Chains A and B, each alone.
Chain A
Amino acid sequence: MAAPETDIQHTPLHALHVELGGRMVPFAGYDMPVQYPSGILKEHNHTREAAGLFDVSHMGQVRLRGSGAAEALERLVPVDVVELEPGKQRYALFTNPAGGILDDLMITNAGDHLFVVVNAACKDQDIAHVRAHLGGDVALEVLDDRALLALQGPQAGVVMARLAPATTQLFFMTGAAIEIDGVGCFVTRSGYTGEDGFEISVPAARAESLARRLLAEPEVAPIGLGARDSLRLEAGLCLYGHDIDATTTPLEASLAWALSKSRRAAGARPGGYPGAEVIFEQFATGVARRRVGLKPTGRAPVREGTALVDATGRAIGQVTSGGFGPSVGGPIAMGYVETALAKAGTEIQAMLRGKPQPVTVTKMPFVAQRYYRG
């Protein structure tokens, strides 16, 4: 789904990435920093120890306005949007008629509108999908004039408090319109690292000055996509297009927790979204495969696409994300295995360069989440 290289796009922070020595690579149609000179390991550790600044402006930001906005969005996600209280944020999934996942997204009730963030690689498709299902009473606005910064790490809270005291009122999975350094931003307390942190939607024209302002704080360092990936993997979070896609259902993906009670078969507003029958059936009878955490016994990383086999060598699944977890101090991975082998502690094997390597099915996250819950 990546755009051809000739069409490669720049975020409002592109010049700053280059100035900071970012090693730029094409990602989801954007020229993005995979790392800065300090390197992925140091950037990862800095985020776990202090605060890391990420440019996630390539992601899609959308505003839905109108009295029927929540109802309209509920027709596309197996999640309670109607009763999402003002100021609250929720993780959601767009599903297809087969119950597969079209994208994962974050929805915030911003009071007079819904603020939605979707993945970069899916955003055009997502926006078309939402538009096609809106009633006349709902207006969809693509916020392509805004950048998105993420400040993540145990010291993100003190940094934000210094710049914008109002952010101390936020806790995990809440959001508010907050002025930072004189600029009107929309800030949520959430992220993709397992750490406390914020995502800041800021007008594109003010994004670089805000990024520089944040980088001037002693706790803050710029972090590239490489560390973003190792941080989210340690946190057990899915990467769309790898760990979840149109062929994986929420239950197979071990994302049942994201499916609101009110939208399940016995709920107050059951179904009414694509694939509901499939998902109900899977709730009732189970699934044949599940996404699990995987901990290789040796030191060799087990990468995406690696085949998983049982003790007899029979194929039982595949790795969907894998690499080295700097905070774990060793290789970690996630992937799909047959449900009978999905229990934590089960010993299986990964076929690494033709040789079976022992791997243990493991509970996720690999690193304890440290969200700020007030």
Chain B
Amino acid sequence: MSNRKYNKDHEWVTVEGDIGTVGISDHAQEQLGDVVYVEVPDPGKAVEQGGEVATIESVKAASEIYSPVSGEVTEGNAALGDEPGLVNSDPYGQGWFYKIKLSNAGELDGLMDEAAYQSFLESLD
């Protein structure tokens, strides 16, 4: 899990080859509370870094998901349609949102690694 990178909107991305997998952090799911609905993007959708790409609804409110990287969506996590609670129970595993073919791998260098993200979280308190 050492290659998981985060943006300041609490999304994460892990990369294998040129395919990234995106989700939200444990901190984010905890802040949102029980997730009841996730709208994941369709394959083929072109996404800019920082652009709105998905919607997540908790019992409290709706939030937008901002893509940590640019590229083209290759798959949305269909399992979240039936079981949105996976975002809470397994945010870094089965609770992933979408896979994306990276168009600019250099963007990863601008994201935070695990240690940097943890210090970022501490700075929020």
Q: B34 at the A/B interface (Cβ < 8 Å)?
A: yes
Chain A interface mostly = mixed
- How many chain B residues touch A (CB < 8 A): the figure is 13
Contact between A300 and B37, CB atoms less than 8 A apart: yes
Give A303 to B57 CA distance when docked, in angstroms: 10
- Residues of chain A from 30 to 77 with CB closer than 8 A to chain B in the complex: 34-35, 39-41, 44
Contact between B59 and A300, CB atoms less than 8 A apart: no
Which of B34, B62, B81 is the most central at the interface, judged by chain A CB atoms within 10 Å of its CB?
Answer: B34
Question: C-beta contact mask, B97-121 vs A, less than 8 Å → 1, else 0?
Answer: 0000000000000000000000000
Which of B36, B59, B81 is the most central at the interface, judged by chain A CB atoms within 10 Å of its CB?
Answer: B59
Contact between B62 and A301, CB atoms less than 8 A apart: yes
Give A299 to B61 CA distance when docked, in angstroms: 14
- How many chain A residues touch B (CB < 8 A): the figure is 17
Residue among A39, A40, A326, A331 making CB contact with B37, cutoff 8 Å: A331
Give A323 to B34 CA distance when docked, in angstroms: 12
Contact between A40 and B59, CB atoms less than 8 A apart: yes
Give A40 to B33 CA distance when docked, in angstroms: 7
Give A353 to B61 CA distance when docked, in angstroms: 14
In the bound complex, residues from chain A placing their C-beta under 8 Å from that of B94 are none
In the bound complex, residues from chain B placing their C-beta under 8 Å from that of A324 are 36-37, 57, 59
Shortest A177–chain B CB gap in Å is 37
Shortest A324–chain B CB gap in Å is 4
Shortest A329–chain B CB gap in Å is 10
Question: C-beta contact mask, B55-69 vs A, less than 8 Å → 1, else 0?
Answer: 101011110000000
In the bound complex, residues from chain A placing their C-beta under 8 Å from that of B81 are 299
Q: A155 at the A/B interface (Cβ < 8 Å)?
A: no
In the bound complex, residues from chain B placing their C-beta under 8 Å from that of A353 are 55
- Residues of chain A from 6 to 52 with CB closer than 8 A to chain B in the complex: 34-35, 39-41, 44
Closest 9 CB pairs of A and B: A324-B36, A41-B34, A40-B59, A301-B57, A300-B37, A299-B37, A39-B34, A324-B59, A40-B33
- The chain B residues found within 8 Å of chain A, CB to CB, are 33-34, 36-37, 39, 55, 57, 59-62, 81, 84
